[in-house]
């Protein structure tokens, strides 16, 4: 995914399809006991015009979007 910002756009996001992903996590705070978790994932790719927005703003926005996608009820809690 390579979203391209075209005038008069300031920011654009590309959203991939859902794919299968695996994650290794430690259980019981011990490195000896590890679990492999299967989950669904989706990539988001942001492009922005840095003459208007800086990278920190886009990073904060992407973290907020991630939070809302993972737990949609937080949107209602914010209102």
Name the catalytic one among 20, 29, 39, 54.
Answer: 54
Specify whether 54 is catalytic.
yes
- Tell how strand 19-27 and strand 11-15 pair up: unpaired
Cα separation, 6 vs 37, whole angstroms: 39
Q: How many residues does the chain have?
A: 79
Name the catalytic one among 29, 39, 49, 50.
Answer: 50
Q: Which residues are part of the catalytic machinery?
A: 50, 54
């Amino acid at each position: 995914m390579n979203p391209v910002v075209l005038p008069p756009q300031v920011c654009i996001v590309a959203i991939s399809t859902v794919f299968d992903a695996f994650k290794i996590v430690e259980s019981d705070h011990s490195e000896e006991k590890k679990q492999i978790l299967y989950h669904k994932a989706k990539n988001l790719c942001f492009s922005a015009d840095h003459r208007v927005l800086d990278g920190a703003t886009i990073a904060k926005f992407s973290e907020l979007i991630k939070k809302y996608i993972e737990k949609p009820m937080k949107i209602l809690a914010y209102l």
